[in-house]
Each structure stands twice: as C-alpha cells, then as structure tokens.
Amino acid sequence: MKDIDWQYLRNAIITAVSLLLVSGGLVWAMEKWHSEVNDEFFAQERDFSSAKRRYDEARRNRAVYQQYLSEYRHYMDAGFIGEEQRLSWIEQLQELNEKYKLASLSYEISPQEKADLPALNVPSNITLNVSRMKLEAGLLHEGDAVSLWSELRNRSKGFYSLQECTLESTNLSRQASVQYRPYTAYVDMTCLLGWYTIKVAES
C-alpha cells in the first residue's frame, strides 16, 4: 500500500467514485420510479381483472337465465314453485267429479313434510316439500282412472307423483256387464300420491 501514489490516482478515483455515485443514484431513482409505476400498473391490472371477471360472470349468469327462465316461469305458473295450493287441488277434484259424474270421490291430505328422495340429490339451497294424499273414487271403468290422472297432471297446481294405485272391480261389475250410467261405480280406485312443491330462498 505504501507503494501507491495516491496523488497520481486521486483524480481518477474522484472521477470514478463520482460517476459511480451519479450512476448509482440514477439507477436508484429510476428503479424507485419504475417500482411505483409497476405498483400502479398491477393495481390497474387487478381492477381490470376484477371488472372482466364480474362481466364474464354476469354474462354467464345471463346465459343461464336465458336458458332456464322460461322453464322456471312455467313451473311457477304450474304451482310447482312456491306455496302449496290445496284449495286449488280441492277445486280441481270437485270439477273432475262433476265432469266424470263419478259415483264417489274422496281425499285425505296429510300435513306437508320435507320430501325424502335421496336419489334426487336435492341441492341445499332448495326445499322440496310433499303432502301425501289418499284419493278414493268410484269409477265407471279403468279409462276414467286414466282420464283422472291426466286431468290432475295437466290442470292442477303443483306436481303429483303416484306411489301406488289399486283398481278393483266392484260387486256390480262382477254381477253384470258394464253399462254407462252416471254416478255408477264398476271400478273402485284407491291411489296414494304425493303433491310436491319447491321452495327456494330469495337473494
């Protein structure tokens, strides 16, 4: 070290150090500025991604709405969605009785309960309720039973599912041939069915 002529190197050292300081300062300042610009960029990028994501989700939702809305409205109008409409069922039965001039038509409806159909995998945001109905009728023939089921399906509020049905010939039919006479029963019908309604939470 004592061999070094610092005087000789002084200017070079000062110049080098100064330049390096200035360069270092320049790089530091630019890095800092760049970091700020970068932060702003990423913040804007996040906003952009968020806006795009919301928009895409809204588009998907709209597509889903468009796909399912008419069906949903149909089920609402059919009484499948919402509150049970027991009065409507009773009115419907009375109408059918008058129309087909049945010998008898009686019903027994049990309290509404939550339906237990594991095979359906009912989603957790939906409640599927069921009211059990026992329907007994005195019919002219088996064809009336078919008509009864069809009319109930098409015109009643709600959805019903037949669990079991028995059509039994009456004593009258065993004794004589079937003749059309209103309010006469040649076949006794006993059916067990479930009236289903769907409820969904409003958001």
Partner 1 sequence: MKHLLYFGGYRMVVLRWNAGTFTGAAEFEPNDKGYAAFERLARQEMRGPVRLLVDLIEEDFRLETAPHLIGRDRAALHKRLINRYFRLYPHTRLKIQERQKQGRRDDIVQISALTNSKLFEPWLEILERARVPLQGIYSLPVVGEQLLKPLGAEQQNALVINQQVPGSIRQSFYARGALKLTRLAPSGDNAEQQCDVIQDETQRTVRYLENQQYVDTRQKLHIYVIAPGGEHELLQQALHSDSRKEYHIVDKDRLGFDMGIKGPVPGRYVHWIFAHLLLGGKHYAPHYGTHKDRRYYYHFQARRALHAAATLGTIAAVLWSGSLAFDMYMLSVREQQMRVDAMRYTRGYEDIVRDISELNLDVNDVRDVVNLAEKLEKRYGATPEEMIEAVSRTLGNHPNIRIKNIKWVQTHDANHSFGETSREIDSRTSYMMKTGQIAYLYRKGMIEATVTDYGNNPRLAVEAVDRFIRQLRDRHEEYKVELIKTPYDIDPESRLVGRALSDNATRSERGADFAFVLSREIQL
Using CB under 8 A, which residues numbered 99 to 138 contact partner 1? Answer: 117-120, 122-123, 125-126, 128
Distance CA 92, CA 86 (A): 10
Least distance CB 137 / partner 1 (angstroms): 14
Q: Which of 23, 94, 106, 110 binds partner 1 (CB under 8 A)?
A: 23
To the nearest whole angstrom, how small is the minimum distance from the Cβ of residue 108 to partner 1? 19
Is 145 a binder of partner 1 (CB under 8 A)?
yes
Tell me which of 91, 97, 112, 196 binds partner 1, using CB under 8 A: 196
Minimum distance of partner 1 from residue 79's CB (angstroms): 11
Report the distance separating Cα 87 and Cα 91, nearest Å: 6
Q: Applying CB under 8 A, which of residues 94, 106, 110, 150 lies at the interface with partner 1?
A: 150
Residue 159's identity, in one-letter code, is: F
Q: Verify binding: residue 90, partner 1, rule CB under 8 A.
A: no
Query: Which residues, numbered 155-174, are part of the site for partner 1 (CB under 8 A)?
Result: 159, 161-169, 174
Report the SS3 class of residue 82: coil
Is residue 27 within the footprint of partner 1 (CB under 8 A)? yes
Minimum Å distance from CB 203 to partner 1?
4
What single-letter DSSP state applies at residue 5?
-
Candidate list 16, 94, 104, 110; residue touching partner 1; CB under 8 A: 16
Q: What is the largest CA-CA distance in the chain?
A: 141
Residues 6+ apart with CB under 8 A from 153: 160
Angle at 110 between CA 108 and CA 116, to 5 degrees: 130
By the rule CB under 8 A, 178 interacts with partner 1: no
At 195, phi and psi to the nearest 5?
A: -95, 120
Question: CA angle, corner 81, sides to 75 and 87, nearest 5?
Answer: 105
153: phi then psi, degrees, rounded to nearest 5: -65, -45
182 to 19, 117, 144, 159: CA distances (angstroms)? 116, 40, 12, 29
Q: Which of 15, 104, 106, 110 binds partner 1 (CB under 8 A)?
A: 15
Q: Which stretch binds partner 1 (CB under 8 A): 50-58, 91-99, 106-114, 131-139?
A: 50-58
Site for partner 1 in 53-72 (CB under 8 A): 54-55, 58-59, 61-62, 64-65, 67-69, 71-72
